[in-house]
Structure 1
Amino acid sequence: MMNIIIFGPPGAGKGTQAEKMQKHFNIPHLSTGNIFRENIKNETPLGKKVKSILDAGNLVPDETVVDLVKDELSKPKYDKGVILDGFPRTVAQAEALDSFFEENGKKIDAFLTLTVPEEELINRILSRGEGRSDDTPEKVKNRLSVYQKETAPVLNYYKEKGAVKEIDGVGSIEEIFDRIKDAVS
């Protein structure tokens, strides 16, 4: 049983690595972004709420994200563990996750943070052509600084718990994945 958080700035390769980890360790991958998109697409009450928040250009409040994740993690498919991607994003979310896990006799086994130099991140985001309208170099720099400001405290929170393993996020997908396997084993 393994509960892993994969962490890192936009463009660090979290989604790609989480998919490889899911196959290799046979643990489901929970991406809050995917859950949001699914709920929005299916026009669930939560999806409608999240869509209006995102359409206004705001971040989804901690409470909403936490409820969503707890709801998802209560499903039997996560009994053997989970790879969390895009969550927790704030210390409040991290604390809520920890207490949820404690209540269920679980814990975070590893907090993997992918480190990639800013120039490389900007190049990756601009070249992956997801067609986000905000993908100009200035906007990308802004997203990265928002990430640093808002999520660095989460990294420090898990550092204090001794759960953080820094992974060099530069190299081929396979090289980076090998580093992750070494860190987790």
Structure 2
Amino acid sequence: MSRANFRCWCIFHAAHLKKCLDHNIMHIPSPHIFPGRSAVTPYVFVGDDAFPFCTNILKPFPGSYDKESKERIFNYRLNRARRVSENVFDIISSVFRVLRKPMLSQPDIATKTVLAIIYLHNFLRKSSSRRMYNPPGMFDIECADRGEISDCVWRKDKSHLSGMSAIQKLA
């Protein structure tokens, strides 16, 4: 385990999330069969290799695997799911800069702030201003036939978030 992964592991074990998962405080729904599926599927958090093995956390298989192996396909799909949440968080944190640093407010106020940001993000994504809020190139693009991912603008150079300046002035 690398030093960075060990540090993340220690932080996670001391975190409130770990205690909530261990004692089922979050009331995560029981696994069930989703429509159109035959397998029982649990609700999980998507993590990277720094996370420990836990019932409700998916993390990639360690090491490298043959191209068509189940482990490599799983790791690819898990990474793809992680990229979606990374895209969303980096987009909203580039607009709503309060997310770039620790919030120095009471937990209930911080929760309301984050929920308001999520609602605004979803509204802007669905409204007529979506081209200004998320101009072309703001999301990773996957080339399905080759399995390659073309990095979006913010991954390449976060200082050139074109189309965001008008909304940033409002935030």
Question: Which is helix-richer, 1 or 2?
Answer: 1
- Scaled by the length of structure 2, the TM-score of the pair is 0.26
Structure number with the higher strand fraction is: 1
TM-score, normalised via structure 1 length: 0.25
Higher relative contact order (CA 8 A, sep 6+): 1
